[in-house]
Structure 1
Amino acid sequence: MARETYEKDGPLLVVASGRDTISIASSIKRLASDNVFVVQIQHPRVHLNRFDLVITPRHDYYPLTPEGQEKIPQFLRRWITPCEPPDGHVVLTTGALHQIDSAALRSAASAWHEEFAPLPKPLVVVNVGGPTGCCRYGSDLAKQLTAHLLNVLVSCGSIRISFSMRTPEKVSKIIIKELGNNPKVHIWDGEEPNPHLGHLAWADAFVVTADSISLISEACSTGKPVYVVGAERCTWKFTDFHKSLRERGVVRPFTGSEDMSDSWSYPPLNDTAEAASRVHEALAERGWKLRP
């Protein structure tokens, strides 16, 4: 299709994301290299020269560091991350790509105004994910989180808590039992509409479990305080991700001693827009441009 439409419609921009698309995207690049520009989102775990541009989180290169290599069996090292340092056609992002930007936040603020505007301030949004192979926890973290939230409750106007599809029942039950009847606390019941965008737009601060890079990345795109709970339970590249955010002043550990009315800020993460800009630049270098 790329070859047949090239003369009439010009080259195709192919954007692929995730493990299942790798072989297809690299095959398109091989079969029609003069007619396509192939962008692969996330580290493909194959040789990077099979794509025109690779956009991947910086922590995906943690396995190349001495600390990362020590944690990988020798026979798996090349398979997990090819020993190629990032070069000019690799775009490294701080966190995960997502659709949250200032325009999306303004739209969500308007859409959720009626529900969130009357809430007492500061509004603290708590996002609870679920354990992963690199962030292992259970009821122990749930108890730690609820104890910390009870400690900071006096400085909160209201708290909104959301669970993800990955949240174990034993975790959600503890949080609901300890906080579900508190008048300052509202726990989303999982029914539509999902208030996630409203939370991002209206929250004054966030508390997020360390397992979810996507939830943390979205919260950090707001420029508002983001507190992470459970980072000490994470290993390998998750450790590198959390360390990079702390060093940039984007997140802080949630200790339960915070005054949630204290406000602090930072330049919001803008990975998606920056990655898109790099795509435009790479196309321009080839003499191509996206149609408006």
Structure 2
Amino acid sequence: MTKKICWILTEGMAGTENQCLGLAEALGLDPEIKRLRPRWPWRWLPVGLWLAPLVAQNPTASSLAPPWPDVLISAGRKSVPVALAIKKKSGARVFAVHLLNPYVAPVRFDLVATPRHDGLEGDNVIVTEGALTRITKARLDDALDAHGGRLAALPRPRLAVLLGGASKHFKFTERAAGELALLLRAMVTETGGSLMITVSRRTGADVVARLRAGLEGVPMEIWEGEGANPYFAYLAAADAIVVTNDSVSMACEAATTGKPLYVFALEGTSKKFDAFHENLCARGIARPFDGSFEKWTYEPLMDTERVAQAVRKRLGERMDEPTGERQK
């Protein structure tokens, strides 16, 4: 694909922004990230009431002015009216891709990619199993080169443990941390292996402290946010992976590796998250974590490349369209 100018338009949340970056990287694009910071009165209004959405951006935030990009990748509800306004201002020249449910008619975008658990369908909708990721073999190999010497000292099998935290639907309590520690210790005792544990921004200090206490003496490494993040190295060095069920992104990143994936349930529930994890289990990708260690194989998730292929195909078709057809 000819090198094109790409913008990423989000509300600044790391999870959705990473999905956009994953798609841009899969397309071979070097995107410029535009983070929305709506000013008064827009920031207090539902997005359906946003008149002149391009004027909503705070003047001190990312500029949303010509020259317009060739490809616009947006995610998040507040990005929807802004992305559509950019497409209109460009005379429909901008190829607009939206990730996740836009909550408007999908046909208003050139392409929409949304997880199966969102239940959205349409001629220009690509249904994914979950979130897009930035996981590639090259990225994992590079991370292992940077951290592999240190991690090689940990006995195998190595279990990568990806921790989430409190959210709208889930609670990561000290009680849950204690239960997880017992299961992890049981697995290490059974296998003679080790743990590589990484926290997220939502992981509470009390949870980490409870895990450390419950895993005292267990061969492990815990990354708590200091120094270079070994997240990708943990995925590369792991023989199996455990994720907490409060994150779709972490599970999808783990499932992209093709390695056995265990899910540890936190307190709480979410219809969409439950449907997502049930689908992973039904497809033979994931299993509930009960402290035992098993090996199995499955076809790794390739949602990011699948969406990238759809974008390339539609961009190729678009180049053959008369300009007037794009503006209809």
TM-score (norm 1): 0.81
Does 1:160 find its partner at 2:186? Answer: no
- Greater Cα shift, 223-232 or 213-222: 223-232
**Aligned residue for 1:208?**
243
Tell me the SS of whatever aligns to 1:121.
coil
Q: Deviations over 1:137-172 (max 9, x none)?
A: 422321221111121122142111111110123322
C-alpha separation in 2, matches of 1:186 and 1:214? 22
Over the matched positions of the two proteins, sequence identity in percent amounts to: 38
Q: How does 1:126-137 map to 2 (within 5 A)?
A: 126-137=161-172
C-alpha separation in 1, matches of 2:282 and 2:320? 38
C-alpha separation in 1, matches of 2:165 and 2:320? 43
Alpha-carbon RMSD across the aligned residues, in angstroms, is 2.4
- Counterpart of 2:245, as a letter, is A
Q: How does 1:1-292 map to 2 (within 5 A)?
A: 12-61=70-119, 85-154=120-189, 155-179=191-215, 181-230=216-265, 233-256=268-291, 258=292, 260=293, 262-287=294-319
CA gap of 1:106–1:185, structure 2 versus 1, over 3 A, is closer
Give the unaligned 5+ runs of structure 1: 62-84
Give the unaligned 5+ runs of structure 2: 6-65, 322-328
- Counterpart of 1:208, as a letter, is V
Tell me the SS of whatever aligns to 2:170.
coil
User: Contact (CA 8 Å) 2:143, 2:230: kept in 1 or not?
Assistant: no
User: Contact (CA 8 Å) 2:161, 2:195: kept in 1 or not?
Assistant: yes
C-alpha separation in 1, matches of 2:97 and 2:78? 14
C-alpha separation in 1, matches of 2:242 and 2:92? 47
C-alpha separation in 1, matches of 2:130 and 2:96? 21
Higher share in helix: 1
CA gap of 1:32–1:207, structure 2 versus 1, over 3 A, is same
C-alpha separation in 2, matches of 1:103 and 1:234? 35
Tell me the SS of whatever aligns to 2:279.
helix
- Counterpart of 1:20, as a letter, is K
Q: Deviations over 1:96-130 (max 9, x none)?
A: 11110222222222222211223211111111111
Deviation at 1:12, TM superposition (A): 1.6
- Counterpart of 2:207, as a letter, is V
- Counterpart of 2:162, as a letter, is N
Q: Runs ≥4 in structure 1, deviation > 3 angstroms?
A: none
- Counterpart of 1:37, as a letter, is F
C-alpha separation in 1, matches of 2:139 and 2:202? 25
User: Contact (CA 8 Å) 1:30, 1:50: kept in 2 or not?
Assistant: no
Q: How many residues align?
A: 257
Q: Deviations over 1:57-96 (max 9, x none)?
A: 11122xxxxxxxxxxxxxxxxxxxxxxx411211111111
Q: Deviations over 1:261-282 (max 9, x none)?
A: x321211111111110010111
